[in-house]
Amino acid sequence: MGLTVYKIDSSSPVRSVFMTIEALNIPDVDYVNVNLLEGEQHKEEFTKLNPQHTVPLLKDDDFCVWDSHAIAVYLVTKYGADDSLYPADPKKRAVIDQRLHFDSGILFPALLEAVLPVFYKGEKSFRPEHLERITKGYEFAEKFLASSQWLAGDQITLADICCVSSISTMDEIIPIDKDLYPNLAGWLKRCGEQEFYKKGNEPGLGQFRDLEKLKLA
């Protein structure tokens, strides 16, 4: 019993959960691989837990929650030593929530749309219209970072953790040009210096990179 994360390491939302676990120093988490390329998420034993058949899925004893953003908030609220990653202050929290919805509604769908034809349909290049949506995501994020070091103010929050999993993956598709997006490039570098990023994002991002190379070859 305890915490179990159902996952595939190359998935960006899964990496948001890994990073949250690292940032909170939560010990003793069990991990279960779900091989999406083999369609394992559609097996009954998994859809009984998550009818939406997505990873990440978190099981906390008998309680199940899915969607990386919901999981990250749950982990901070239940297991955080304090609320610094998701402050209770209404205005601070509203900005973080906006960024989480930005990831959920803009960044991740743009990433998924770009990746699916290459990873699952044998296409050998990313489609220009999909690349445009990634660039649009960069433009928005660049503006969010115009007056602060982190995406929701002066301290690292779940906004950074959840958006960096998508943006670091997008960076593997369209490298972020630091002349065009200086704020974003600086932020990505700062994120890369964090322990939670090194442990929670880098290994799976490396797997994404290898898979991308293989699929585009």
Binding site for ligand GSH (CB under 6 A): 11, 13, 36, 41, 53-56, 67-69, 104, 108
Q: Which residue number, 104 or 207, has a Cβ lying nearer to ligand GSH?
A: 104
Q: How far is the CB of 69 from ligand GSH (least distance, A)?
A: 6
Whichever of 36 and 211 has its CB closer to ligand GSH, that residue is 36
- For 18, the token pair is 């890994």
- Whether the Cβ atoms of residue 201 and residue 7 lie closer than 8 Å to each other: no
Cα 13 to chain centroid, rounded: 4
Strand order in the sheet with 30-33: 30-33, 3-7, 57-60, 63-66
Quick check: is 11 catalytic?
Answer: yes
Least distance to ligand GSH, CB of residue 203, Å: 16
**160 burial level (CB within 10 Å; 0-12, 13-18, 19+):** buried
Q: How far is the CB of 121 from ligand GSH (least distance, A)?
A: 15
CB of 55 to ligand GSH, least distance (A): 4
CA distance 33 to 36: 9
Centroid of chain to Cα 33: 17
List 10, 11, 166, 168, catalytic entry: 11
Residue number, 56 or 137, with CB nearest to ligand GSH = 56
Q: 119 or 144, CB closer to ligand GSH?
A: 119
Residues with a catalytic annotation lie at: 11
